[in-house]
Amino acid sequence: MQPFELITAQNVASAVKEQAASPTAQQGASVRFIAGGTNLVDCMKLNVETPRRLVDINGLPLDTIEKLPDGSVKIGALARNSDVAQNDLIRTQFPVLSQAILSGATGQLRNMASTAGNLLQKTRCVYYRDRAYACNKRAPGSGCSAIGGYNRNLAILGTSEHCIASNPSDQNVALMALDATIHISGVNGQRSVPIAAFYLLPGSTPEKETVLLPGDLITHVTVPALPPGSKSLYVKLRDRASYEFALASTAVVLKTRQGKIEHVRAALGGVGAIPWRSQEAERALVGHAPNAENFRKAAEAALQQARPQSQNAFKVELAKRCIVHTLTQAAQLA
Ligand SMILES: Cc1cc2nc3c(=O)[nH]c(=O)nc-3n(C[C@H](O)[C@H](O)[C@H](O)COP(=O)(O)OP(=O)(O)OC[C@H]3O[C@@H](n4cnc5c(N)ncnc54)[C@H](O)[C@@H]3O)c2cc1C
Ligand code: SF4
């Protein structure tokens, strides 16, 4: 690991200023925020991330979870994954978020992992984490070792000829289905970005993963109240029952009325270059009966644009079955 300096942020403004001053902040190479450290420190040990300075943001007052007057919930950037998952408000109003978080990592990791750190966690593509291999995301222009290489766990939706990495997060799939908004403090003040516009597809610049700019500090996430009577559910399929990333997962929010689907959100994990909201599936469902035939039609629509790689064609059918199963279970919730 490369030596680095550790400083403690005194407030949001100084943290922003510190990181924005980084000459290579766009690539994140020089000055980085550190929250739980469960992703960043891993990458630093592998010399995949080589910051000269870390700005410890853990002392900032950004860890609360509170209900806002409009019924939405505000989750601080430093709220730990365990605290979010076990929060009464989250468990009762947004069970999909609690379930998604609890399906990830381990208790110890969730105790450290923060909401914002989870939003920004790096891909688990093995070549990204190994400097011996070409990787356009880590070293732009060097090539992609995963195309034609080991790609069993990588993406089938939203990929490009430059990068086929999958977004590994569970939390973010639920936040996508919940229409969350990311709130950011930056050098030009505060702004809010809907999660649907937060992540960037790899295209020809896979190193640019989000719309964050140098100095941007995520302060909190808001989740709007669901339409009354909605049900929500997260289902994750993986190689083993715990301590494993998703091969395919689905987060759904579903509301039916008089035998028809009135409101639905469907997001997929493990298969997308970014947490993947499927508006194709949603369009196939709204106005139709919540039954097996229509759920399968929605699953077909969701995976229509899938571009599997040499080792992950199995994910196409796996993801479809995950969608059908999650919708079926959600429709049966009391
Ligand atoms: C063995 C293992 C298994 C795992 N399994 C799963 C799993 O199954 N599912 C899953 O979803 N996740 C899993 N994870 C990932 C885990 O959820 C993440 O490591 C964690 O959420 C990252 O949060 P953190 O606070 O530790 O982030 P850090 O490591 O502190 O930071 C991550 C990144 O976010 C940036 N950052 C942090 N906070 C802010 C902020 N407020 N504003 C701007 N930038 C910020 C940092 O600069 C860094 O780039 C696993 C991790 C490990 C190590
Ligand atoms: S898939 Fe993306 S992260 Fe993996 S080697 Fe290719 S460019 Fe790198």
| Residue identifier of the C-alpha nearest atom 6 of ligand 1 | 105
Question: Sign of torsion, CA 61 62 64 68?
Answer: positive
CA 180 to CA 172: how far, in whole Å?
9
**116 CA distance to ligand 2 centroid (A)?**
23
Check pLDDT > 90 for residue 86: yes
pLDDT, position 27: 47
CA 73 to CA 15: how far, in whole Å?
25
List pLDDT tens digits, range 102-118: 999 999 999 999 999 99
pLDDT, position 21: 79
CA 251 to CA 271: how far, in whole Å?
13
Ligand nearest to the CA of 161: 2
- Would you mind telling me the total number of residues written for the chain in this entry? 334
pLDDT, position 20: 87
Q: Are 153 and 189 in contact (CB under 8 A)?
A: no
Check pLDDT > 60 for residue 26: no
Question: Sign of torsion, CA 133 139 144 146?
Answer: positive
The stretch 150-168 carries a mean pLDDT of 98
Ligand nearest to the CA of 166: 2
List pLDDT tens digits, range 292-325: 999 999 999 999 999 999 999 999 999 999 999 9
| Residue identifier of the C-alpha nearest atom 17 of ligand 1 | 118
Q: In what order do the strands lie in the sheet with 31-34?
A: 5-8, 53-56, 31-34
155 lines ligand 2 (CB under 6 A): no
Query: Is 0.85 topped by the overall pTM?
Result: yes
pLDDT, position 30: 87
Check pLDDT > 80 for residue 29: no
Proportion of the chain in helix, strand, coil states, percent, rounded to 5: 30, 25, 50
What distance lies between CA 8 and its chain's CA centroid?
Answer: 27
List pLDDT tens digits, range 182-228: 999 999 999 999 999 999 999 999 999 999 999 999 999 999 999 99
Ligand 1 atom closest to residue 49's alpha carbon, by position in its atom list = 49
Beta-carbon contacts of residue 141 (< 8 Å; ≥ 6 apart): none
Check pLDDT > 90 for residue 25: no
Ligand nearest to the CA of 164: 2
**93 CA distance to ligand 1 centroid (A)?**
24
Q: Are 202 and 165 in contact (CB under 8 A)?
A: yes
Question: Domains along the chain?
Answer: 5-56 (no CATH), 231-332 (3.30.390.50)
CA 170 to CA 142: how far, in whole Å?
29
Name the strand (E) or helix (H) holding 23. Answer: none
206 lines ligand 2 (CB under 6 A): yes
Phi first, then psi: what are they for 125, rounded to 5°?
Answer: -55, 125
CA 119 to each of CA 29, 52, 70: distance values in angstroms, whole numbers, following the listed order: 18, 23, 24
In this structure, the residues whose C-beta lies within 6 A of any atom of ligand 1 are 32-40, 42, 57, 77, 104-105, 109, 112-114, 116-118, 120-121, 168-171, 217-218, 245
